[in-house]
Amino acid sequence: MKKLFLVLTMLPMLAQGQTLDDCQQAAEKNYPLIQQYGLIEKTTQLTVANIQKGWLPQVSASAQATYQSDVTAWPDEMKTMMGGMGIDMKGLTKDQYRVGIDVQQTIYDGGVIGSQKRIAREQGKVQAAQNEVNIYNVRKRVNEMFFGLLLIDEQIKLNTDLQTLLAGNERKLESMTKRGTAAESDLQNVKAERLNAIQKATELASQKQMLQRMLSTFCGIEINNIQKPQVKADGGGLMSEGRGLMAENHRPELKVLDAQISVLNAQEKALNAALMPKVGVFAQGFYGYPGLNMFEDMMRHKWSLNGIVGARVTWNIGALYTRKNDKAKLQLQRDMTENNREVFLFNNNLEQIQQHENIARYQKLMAHDGEIISLRKAVRKAAESKLAHGIIDANDLVREINQEHAACVQQSVHEIEMLKEIYDNKYTTNN
């Protein structure tokens, strides 16, 4: 059902081709960790519900049987006096029994239960934020596979052009060989280069298939037609991101740190609640021997029903002993959390600086790539003309063809690497 829903939502994307954003969204929806959001929410709800039950009456049942070395007894003078009157003063037996129920109801807890609920909710937010970080990391893995696949696609196209170019020169050399104006070795040289290009094409096709399968598995959909991100020539859009100052950071790691601070704040409020008095009512009932009417039981030795109701105020001032140290520990944890934030932002800014510089470098390199290709193409055409007139041999032509091909590959590498740096920068800042 999950796969079907994912495919249905991605049908327009499948028809038009997949962009990087499409792949990232699909990967996040398909990643198993996405299910933990619901699990974390349910766990938090159950925890809060259990804490809330602290307001319910606390009922306990007990039963006991004891044998005592000594028990409450009548004074000897009274026993002697009553014995003279014919009254048997038995006193309590040493074996005693009790079966009872205790009920306690909290009326005021000083805010302890409320503090515990706040802490549980904030801890749930920490878990959810950490899960968001783990899912967010999926984007970087998608970036690596997407741009790797994009580069291979470009190389396959250039390899096809190379094969076409070599095949054309091979046909020319065949004709020249038949006319006796070219050596057989020249033809064999060009043919060998074309076969090398075919081998390279096979290798590239295998790499493409591997990356496609990996990316398809990651996204949960069939990836077969990725679209290269477009860079605006007017300096807007993505291109401008490489020239600006440090962008505002929206990374989910910062949400984790904020949530951790909220937990510490809730724990500090819990320290205050621990100092407050507690008010409650209670009821006890038991059936046993002896009962509350001690004198009656000393006379008759019978089991009886007994009950007690009352109110209780408790105030544990022991929390005062550790309060100062507990607050100091919480403050140290805050300081550590804020230090972690500073470290993260520091390293993040370093990444941005490196990415901005790389983007600027690739832009400068790309400014000359087109001219280099044009020059290499002109040199290659000249070499073809020279070969036709017998001025050079096939080795010189093959060298010029390979250099032209290398210039085209270099242009593609520069463009795709720049695009990757731009999207890596988007990942670094979550913008």
- pLDDT for residue 246: 66
DSSP β-bridge partners for residue 97: 65, 289
CB atoms within 10 A of CB 297: 22
CA distance 190 to 173: 8
- pLDDT for residue 86: 67
- pLDDT for residue 10: 46
CA distance 260 to 420: 33
- pLDDT for residue 300: 78
Please answer whether residues 402 and 190 qualify as being in contact, where contact means their C-beta atoms are separated by less than 8 angstroms.
no
- pLDDT for residue 243: 47
Q: Mind listing the pLDDT tens digit of every residue in the chain (431 residues)?
A: 444 444 444 444 444 679 999 999 999 999 999 999 999 999 999 999 999 999 999 999 999 999 888 887 777 777 777 777 766 677 788 888 899 999 999 999 989 999 999 999 999 999 999 999 999 999 999 999 999 999 999 999 999 999 999 999 999 999 999 988 888 999 999 999 999 999 999 999 999 999 999 999 999 999 988 999 886 543 444 444 444 456 789 999 999 999 999 999 999 999 988 889 999 999 999 999 888 888 787 777 888 899 999 999 998 888 888 899 999 999 999 999 999 999 999 999 999 999 999 999 999 999 999 999 999 999 999 999 998 888 888 999 999 999 999 999 999 999 999 999 999 999 999 98
- pLDDT for residue 19: 93
pTM for the complete prediction? 0.81
CA distance 186 to 74: 132
What domains, with CATH codes, occur in the chain? 2-30+109-277+315-429 (1.20.1600.10)
Torsion of CA 132, 135, 140, 143, to 10 degrees: -120
CB atoms within 10 A of CB 341: 17
Q: Which residue has the tokens 């990087």?
A: 20
Three-state secondary structure along the chain? CHHHHHHHHCHHHHHHCECHHHHHHHHHHHCHHHHHHHHHHHHHHHHHHHHHHHHCCEEEEEEEEEECCCCCCCCHHHHHHHHHCCCCCCCCCCEEEEEEEEEEEEEECCCHHHHHHHHHHHHHHHHHHHHHHHHHHHHHHHHHHHHHHHHHHHHHHHHHHHHHHHHHHHHHHHHHHHHCCCCHHHHHHHHHHHHHHHHHHHHHHHHHHHHHHHHHHHHCCCCCCECCCCCCCCCCCHHHHCCCCCCCCCCHHHHHHHHHHHHHHHHHHHHHHHCCCEEEEEEEEEEEECCCCHHHHHHHCCCEEEEEEEEEEECCCCHHHHHHHHHHHHHHHHHHHHHHHHHHHHHHHHHHHHHHHHHHHHHHHHHHHHHHHHHHHHHHHHHHHHHHCCCCCHHHHHHHHHHHHHHHHHHHHHHHHHHHHHHHHHHHHCC
